[in-house]
Amino acid sequence: MSKYYVTIGLEMHCEGSQTNSKVFSPAINGYSDLANSNVVAIDMGFPGILPVVNKEAVRQAIMMASVLHARIPEYMYFERKNYYYPDLPKGYQLTQNPPEECVGNGGYIDIEREDGTTFRVDIDNLHLEEDAAQMEHLYDTSIINYNRAGVPLFELVTTPCLHSADDAVAFLEYVRAIYQYCNISEADSKKGQVRCDVNISISEDDKKLGTKVEIKNVNSFSGVRDAINYEIKRQSSLKDQGRYEEVVQETRRWDEESGTTITMRSKADALDYKYFVEPNIPKYKIDPKWIEDIQNNIPELPYERKEKYLNELGLSSYDATILIKDKSISDYFEECLKLGIDAKEATNWITVNIVGYMNKNDLSLSEIFLTPNMLKFILDNINNGTISSKQAKEVFFKVLEEKKEPSNYISKENAQISDENELENIIDTILLNNPNQIEQYKSGKTNLFDFFVGQVMKETRGKANPIITKELLHKKLD
């Protein structure tokens, strides 16, 4: 930890993935493997094109602003941010500016830390804008994919109110969950749907902010954590050495490979974006009834679900946090409950096995073959004694690996032996072959009981029903 007072502000860009069309054009808003396929003339800035605002994107922005307790303006309009770059075909980006005119102005959100304490993040603004095209820079050439050009982009700007990398990441994770819960975006970093800029400064005390350094285009939350920690170390070290003047107001880039930040441009080179009102979109009044309607239809948010899990289902805070973090996991869990799986049982399977498997293999839930119905099928087979929990786990991983229905792995041959007569025969044979151990057990070495259980399991290659086995052994030995 730095001995200095750290101040962090975040800009979180989240691509909206849940509209049919782009934010100002009728092109499909969707992921495509084929470059430049979801494109119309508007996205490429051909002469004569005009923007048309996507009402659904505005609805989503208003919903997000509401969740953030932000003020929603009376009128909606957009501004042009002018600059030249090959990924910006019109030569300007349609966005919102200044903060008081954005779809969300001010606001706050309370975030829970892992240790159960909470902190408040103040929002400067939330604005709706269009994404640029995607560029890939090859050795001696660059290629442009316009599929992304014009995709709705929600940019959330916090005030400089955060003080640690952990808090910053906790905030980002929670906001990402909100985007998912509100069905605005899958908010998948792997698809590049979430990108962050970080503003960071250090100072002797909390009265005066130090020199602000901006780190651009950090594309994962672990990157945000590492970039912040690196930057704190870099700035602190310079300050320690009495070289704080070398920390200048500038824009830096997070370089994932080297794990460092690298100067991009200084404040003096900052671009003048020459903002002005987009004349092709008439300023229009947002119907207060519509806003009310949107606000009345905000879906259940992650913390609300967490509350429910704690109070109604009696889950631990730790488990509930894991479940709500990703909407797809929480939805999976709730699907399990609907199928009648016990809440704690479902929690264990999901938090330990499914999430563990996802993390280990870097998968998202949509890539997991095992559905809640399949999980239910496996658990039913434990409960009716067809398989043991150990076998259930084997079936579980086979389903995941081989992507086949669990019924393929639960059959007569490997079914659990619950037939008392059959087990009794096996037990009798074992007892006959181990007279010494019986002697010792009877003279008080009761922990030898497990030895007998083990022998039965060995004989049946684990298929013996453990409960019946134990019952029978007690009957014979005691």
Partner 1 sequence: MMNKSIEELHELLKNKKITSKELIDESLKLSHEVQDKYNAFVTILDNAKEVEVTDNLLSGIPFGVKDNYSTKGVLSTGSSNTLKDYIPFFDATAYENLVNAGAIMVNKTAMDEFGMGGTGTTCHTGIVRNPWDPTRMCAGSSAGSACAVAAGVYPYATGSDTGDSIRKPAAYCGIVGYKPTYGMISRYGLFAFASSLDHLGVLTRSVKDAAIVVDNMKGIDKRDMTSWDSSNINLTNSLTGNTNGKKLCYIKELCNINNYPNASDELKKHLCNFMDKIKLIKDNGILVEEVSVDQTLLNAIASTYVIISCAEATSNMSNLTGLSFGPRGEGNNYIDVIKDHRTKGFSPLIKRRFVIGSYVLQKENQERYFKNAQRVRRLLVDEWKKLFEKYDAVILPVGTGVAKKLDGDADMLSEGTTALEEHLQVGNFGGFPSITIPDGFIDGLPVALNITGNCYDDANVLNIAYKIESLMDYKNQIAKEVK
Distance between CA atoms of residues 13 and 11, nearest Å: 6
- Dmax (CA) for the chain in angstroms is 98
With helix as H, strand as E and coil as C, how does 403-431 read?
A: CCCHHHCCCCCCCCECCHHHHHHHHHHHH
Q: Applying CB under 8 A, does 264 fall inside the site for partner 1?
A: no
Question: Which of 120, 267, 274, 344 lies at the binding interface for partner 1 (CB under 8 A)?
Answer: 274
- For residues 458 to 477, the per-residue mask of contacts with partner 1, x marking binding by CB under 8 A and - elsewhere, is --------------------
Q: Applying CB under 8 A, does 116 fall inside the site for partner 1?
A: no
- Do residues 200 and 6 lie in contact, with contact meaning Cβ atoms separated by under 8 Å? yes
Site for partner 1 in 39-78 (CB under 8 A): 41, 44-53
47 or 242: CB nearest partner 1:
47
Distance between CA atoms of residues 423 and 375, nearest Å: 29
- The stretches of 42-191 forming alpha helices (DSSP H) are 55-67, 165-181
Query: Which residues face 253 on adjacent strands?
Result: 216, 262
Q: Applying CB under 8 A, does 288 fall inside the site for partner 1?
A: no
Distance between CA atoms of residues 178 and 191, nearest Å: 18
Q: Applying CB under 8 A, does 279 fall inside the site for partner 1?
A: yes
Query: Which residues face 112 on adjacent strands?
Result: 118
Q: Applying CB under 8 A, does 134 fall inside the site for partner 1?
A: no
DSSP-derived letter for residue 182 is T
Q: Applying CB under 8 A, does 22 fall inside the site for partner 1?
A: no
Question: Which of 86, 98, 340, 356 lies at the binding interface for partner 1 (CB under 8 A)?
Answer: 86
**Stretch binding partner 1 (CB under 8 A), from 38-46, 177-185, 199-207, 238-246:** 38-46
Q: Applying CB under 8 A, does 281 fall inside the site for partner 1?
A: yes
Q: Applying CB under 8 A, does 99 fall inside the site for partner 1?
A: no
Q: What are phi and psi of 34, to 5 degrees?
A: -90, 115
Q: Applying CB under 8 A, does 9 fall inside the site for partner 1?
A: no
81 or 376: CB nearest partner 1:
81
Q: For residue 222, give Cα distances in angstroms to 49, 165, 242, 253, 303.
A: 40, 10, 30, 15, 22
Q: Applying CB under 8 A, does 280 fall inside the site for partner 1?
A: yes
Question: Which of 17, 21, 92, 379 lies at the binding interface for partner 1 (CB under 8 A)?
Answer: 92
40 or 301: CB nearest partner 1:
40
Interface residues toward partner 1, by CB under 8 A:
41, 44-53, 80, 82, 84-86, 89-92, 142, 144, 272, 274, 276, 279-282
